Amino acid sequence: MDLFEKISSLDRRWIFLVIALSILIPLLFPFTQPLEVSPDVRAVYEALAALPEGSTVLCSFEYGPSTLPEVHPMARSVMRYLFQRDHKVIVMALWPDGLFMSRDILDEIAVGEYQAEYGVDYINLGYKAGNEVVIKSIAESFSRTYPVDTRGQSTTSWPIMHGIENLANIDFIFSLSAGYPGTVEWVQYAADPYNKPMTTGCTAVQVTEVVPYVRSGQCAGILGGLAGAAEFEVLLMEKGWLTELGAGNRGMAAQSVAHLVLVAFIIIGNVAFYVERRRQRKF
């Protein structure tokens, strides 16, 4: 077997090994690189920036630990921005594990960094089963959908919920999403029927599903995957809302190397394929 044949029928475990190394090494020895902010990420920022200070923003957490590396950095940036602009933040989750994600973020950002007051500046309504049905039902009433919050107290007893009967009183929806139910359901059952502005931070996989809604204007911009998170961090830093880049940019180093290694593999594979095919024609 000569070199090209070998490359063409390479045991996939070699590929696995190289991929693992190409992520592990940059993770241990990180570096940063310049980023260009894409228009979709800018659109997210502009939609948020258009909100007057003190608006009520609904943040919904539809992701779990497995997609945490992608969505968590976005959630952090968004929360930082919202608290700096004194928005009131209502947090909920349509995924059971979304609750733990939101708790983690709120503990870190709201409590840790901004000393925001629970029940006044933000509230965590928690997880409710029922997928899009929950969205339809908060369109009618928050207090009936979520009689108690995650602290086990009656939702309406908190000052932040005064005057917030249902979706109509929400100024903006931010969906942090990794699948079903997620951004698509928020567009279909909340933004669309009630004409609410919304935007999304989602996994790169979901981007294809969501992008048609972005193009048609039903969703204002999109933060797609780790790259979206990294770009958003850069943009917030540019605008003075962040003092340092976060996990999004750190991960991008490993991401970049892995991508290029993968592309190199594909190119080598094609060269081998081309050479082999030419040889076959000769005989």
Query: Which stretch in 105-113, 114-122, 140-148 sits in contact with another protein by CB under 8 A?
Result: 140-148
Decide if 127 contacts 162 (C-beta within 8 A). no
Nearer to another protein, 2 or 152 (CB): 152
Least spacing, CB of residue 217 vs another protein, in Å:
8
Taking CB under 8 A as the rule, does residue 70 contact another protein?
yes
Q: Which of 108, 166, 237, 275 binds another protein (CB under 8 A)?
A: 166
Taking CB under 8 A as the rule, does residue 104 contact another protein?
no
Taking CB under 8 A as the rule, does residue 161 contact another protein?
no
**Segment 228 to 247, residues that bind another protein, using CB under 8 A:** none
Nearer to another protein, 65 or 113 (CB): 65
Q: Which of 91, 181, 206, 242 binds another protein (CB under 8 A)?
A: 206
Give the Cα-Cα-Cα angle 32, 175, 75 (nearest 5 degrees): 35
Taking CB under 8 A as the rule, does residue 132 contact another protein?
yes
- In total, the chain counts a number of residues equal to 283
Q: Which of 52, 280, 281, 282 binds another protein (CB under 8 A)?
A: 52
Nearer to another protein, 142 or 174 (CB): 142
Pick from 203, 173, 206: which is nearest to 190 by CA?
A: 173
Extended beta strands in 77-213, E state = 88-93, 122-127, 172-177, 198-202
Taking CB under 8 A as the rule, does residue 257 contact another protein?
yes
What are residue 89's DSSP bridge partners? Answer: 57, 122
DSSP three-state, residue 60: strand
Nearer to another protein, 52 or 283 (CB): 52
Whole-angstrom distance, CA of residue 241 vs CA of residue 283: 66
Taking CB under 8 A as the rule, does residue 151 contact another protein?
no
Give the Cα-Cα-Cα angle 196, 212, 210 (nearest 5 degrees): 70
Least spacing, CB of residue 279 vs another protein, in Å:
15
* Total residues in contact with another protein, by rule CB under 8 A: 104
Going 106 to 73 to 243 to 56, the CA torsion angle's sign is negative
Query: Which stretch in 48-56, 106-114, 117-125 sits in contact with another protein by CB under 8 A?
Result: 48-56
Least spacing, CB of residue 2 vs another protein, in Å:
18
Q: Which of 5, 27, 30, 113 binds another protein (CB under 8 A)?
A: 27
Residues 6 or more apart whose CB falls under 8 angstroms from that of 39 comprise 221
CA distances to 106, 149, 150 from 116, rounded to whole Å, are 9, 17, 16
